[in-house]
A and B are shown apart, each in its own frame.
Chain A
Amino acid sequence: MPLEEKHIIDFLKNPIIKRQSSELLGHLINRINDLCFKECQVDRITCTLTPMCTRRFLLKLRIKNGLTMEDLPKFCYSVNKGVIERYFRGKTIVYKPFDSYLYLIDFLDIFFHGDYRKLNKYISFKNWDATYKILDDRIKEEEKFRYYRTDNYFLIHYEERLHIIFLNEGYVLCNANRERIEDLELVKAIFKLHAKMYFPEIVIKLIEDKFISIIMKIPYDIVSKITNDYSKIVKNQNKHHPDNYFWNIFPDDLIKLSEFCKMINLHMDNFNDLILTLIIENRDYNKINIKTEDPLKYRDLNEIIKIIDYIYNKFYVIWV
C-alpha cells in the first residue's frame, strides 16, 4: 500500500515526534517552493493559463501568512492581479478570481486607479477623512461602490462583489465567496454595509462579542393581510402578495436561515407587528440536512442578506 494523506496527517498529529514532523514539513516546504518558483512560473504560459496549484491557493497561503513580495512568486502574483482586474473589467478570464488575495496597493490600483497612491497612503496611516473624501467624490461620479469601515476591516462592495481590506495585515480579500469568516466584527460589518445599501432600518447588533442579532419587523398591516386558511389562497395569485410568500416561501427561507443561524425567534410585539430575530454566531455549526461541521462563509451571509433584503423591501418599506 502506498503512502497516503492520512498517514502524513496522523504522523503530524503525534506530539512526541516533533523533530521528525519538522523534517517532514521541511520537505513539504521545499517541494512547494520548487513547484512555485522552479516549475510553474518559469513557464509563464502554464502559470497564466493552467497554474500548477488550483486557483493559485499556494500564492494565497503566502499572502495570508504575511509574506512580503520578496517571498512571493512574482509572475504568479502579477497574473493573479491581472485576472482580478480582467474580471473586474468584464474581460475574458480563465477562472473566476473568487477569494483571491492582493496587497492593498495593488487592489487600490485596480479599483481606484487614479487615486491609488493617495488612498494607499491614507488607508495605511488611517487618515479616514481624506480616504472618505476620495471615495465619496467617486461615488458622486456614479462609480458603483459602497464602503464600510470597522476598527480592523474596510469593506468595499463594488458592483455586487465584496472586497475586504484587512487593515492590520495590509492585504485584501477580493471577491469574497467561500472563505471562512473568522471574526464577528467582520460579520457585523458585512451586514452593516448591506444594511446601508438595501435595508437601512434593520437593527444589527453585536451582543457581548459573542453573537450578532438582526431584528426585522413585518408590520401589522402586512401580517393582517395574510390569510389564516391556506385553502383560501387564490390560485395564480400575485406572487408578491404576502399570502404567496408567507405560506409558500417563508417556511423554506426559515429552514435556510436556520442552517446559518444559532437561533431564530418569531414573535408579535405590542403593536402586533411580527418580529423576526436572527442570532448569528461565528463558529462551526451543523447544517440540518448535511449534518457536517462547516464554518461560516461569505456566501452564507449572502443567503441571509438576500432573505432580509426581500422581506424588508417587499413587506416593510412602503413604496410610493
Chain B
Amino acid sequence: MVINMTEENIDDEEIENIKELVNEGRIDDAVEQIALYLEKSTDENDLDRIENILEAVLTLHGGKTVLRFLLEHNIIDIPSLLNNLSKRDSVLRYSFLLLLKSICENEFDLILPHIESLLESKDPNVVEAALQLLLFIVGGEKINLEESQIKAVANSLSSKQDFVIEKALQVLIVIGKQAPSLTTKILTNYLKQFPENEELKKNLDLILKAIVSVEKIDEIVEEEKLHDIITPDNTKKVKIVKELKKVEQKILDKEVELKKKDLELKKKQLELEEKEIKEKEKVLKKKEELIEKEKVLSQVELELKRKEVEERQQKILEHESKRIQEKMKDIEEENSNNT
C-alpha cells in the first residue's frame, strides 16, 4: 500500500511537471517528458499511464498541440490508443475523440491511413471511434475518399451494434453528399450481397434519400460520366445496359423503318395525287383546246354565216337592183310607149 502510494505520488509529480511545461508553452519539452513517462510503463500500468496523460492533455489549453506532436513523433499511435481506450469509460473515450477533431479536420493525413484497419476491428467501440474520426475528417475540407474506404464504412452497416450502424449512417450521408454517384454505386452493390436484409434496405434508403435531391441530380450525372469505369464488379451491369441499349436501338431502327415506310406511302400518295392532278390538267387542257377549237369553229361558222348573210344580202341587192332596173326599164318603156 505504501509502495503504491509512493508510485502514485511520483506519477502525480511527473504529470504536474508535464502540465507546467505545457502551460509555459514548452511543448517540445513536454512531449519529451511524456515520451519518457510512457516509456516507463509496464504491462500493469500501461493503460493507467496513457489515461493519466490523456486526462492531463484534455484539461490543458495547449492540449491539442501536444497531442498533434505526440502523433507526429509516433509517441502514441491512433490504432493502439483507440484499442486501449475501448476498455475505458465512454467519457474519456469521447472526450479524447473530441480532442482529435481539429487534427482530423486539418491534418487528416495523420489519421486517414489507419481508418480502414480500424474499421475492420472486431471491437465495436473501436469501429465506432474510427467512424467518428472519419466523420470529423469528411466534415472538414472536401476530400475524395478511396472506394475501398467507403466500402469499409458500408460494411459497418451490418454491425450487430446499433450505435455502430448509426455512426456509419452519419458518415455515409456526409460522404454521399460529397460523392453522390460513387456512394450510391457502392451502397447498391453492397445491398446486392444481402438482398433479404430489410433493416439494411431501410438504412440504405435513409442514406440515399439524404444524398439525392433535385439539385444533386446534375452533379450525380456528371460524376457518373467521370467515374464510369468498367470494373469486374459492374460488368454485369454494363452487359445489361448494353443489351438494353441494343433493344433500344432495334426499337429505334424499327421506328425509323416504319417512319420511312410511312413516308414512302405518303410519297406515293403524293405522286398519285400529282398524277391525278396532271391528268386533270391534261383533261382540262384538252377541254380548253376543245373549247378553243369550238370557239374557232363557232367563229368560222359565224363567219360563214355572216358571209352567207352578206352573200344573200348581195344577191338580194343584186336581184333588187336588177328588178329595179328592169322595173325602170319597164317604166321607161311604158313611158316611151306612152309617149
Contact = CB atoms under 8 A, between A and B. Distances in A.
Interface of A: 42-45, 48-49, 75, 78-79, 82-83, 85-86, 91-94
Interface of B: 55, 58-59, 89-92, 94-95, 97-98, 128, 132, 162-163, 166-167, 170
Contacts, number: 46
Closest A-B pairs by Cβ, 7 of them:
A82-B89, A48-B94, A42-B166, A45-B94, A48-B90, A44-B163, A92-B58
Nearest to A42: B166
Contacts of B59: 92
B163 A86 contact: no
Nearest to B165: A42
A45 to B, nearest CB: 5
B166 A43 contact: yes
24 contacts: A42-B162, A42-B166, A43-B163, A43-B167, A43-B170, A44-B90, A44-B94, A44-B163, A45-B98, A48-B94, A49-B91, A49-B95, A79-B90, A79-B91, A86-B89, A86-B91, A91-B55, A91-B92, A92-B55, A92-B58, A92-B91, A92-B95, A93-B91, A94-B91
Interface class of chain B by DSSP: helix
A94 B92 CA distance: 10
A82 B166 contact: no
Contacts of B128: 44
Interface class of chain A by DSSP: helix
Contacts of A45: 94, 97-98, 132
Contacts of B95: 49, 92, 94
B44 to A, nearest CB: 18
A102 to B, nearest CB: 15
A31 B149 CA distance: 37
A83 B167 CA distance: 23
A85 B98 CA distance: 21
Nearest to B56: A92
Contacts of A82: 89-91
Nearest to B88: A82
Nearest to B51: A91
A230 to B, nearest CB: 48
Nearest to A44: B163
A48 B91 CA distance: 6
Contacts of B55: 91-92
A86 B92 CA distance: 9
Contacts of B166: 42-43
- Which of B58, B91, B95, B98: most chain A CB closer than 10 A? B91
- Which of A42, A48, A85: most chain B CB closer than 10 A? A48
Contacts of B89: 82, 85-86
Contacts of B163: 42-44, 75
A12 B172 CA distance: 44
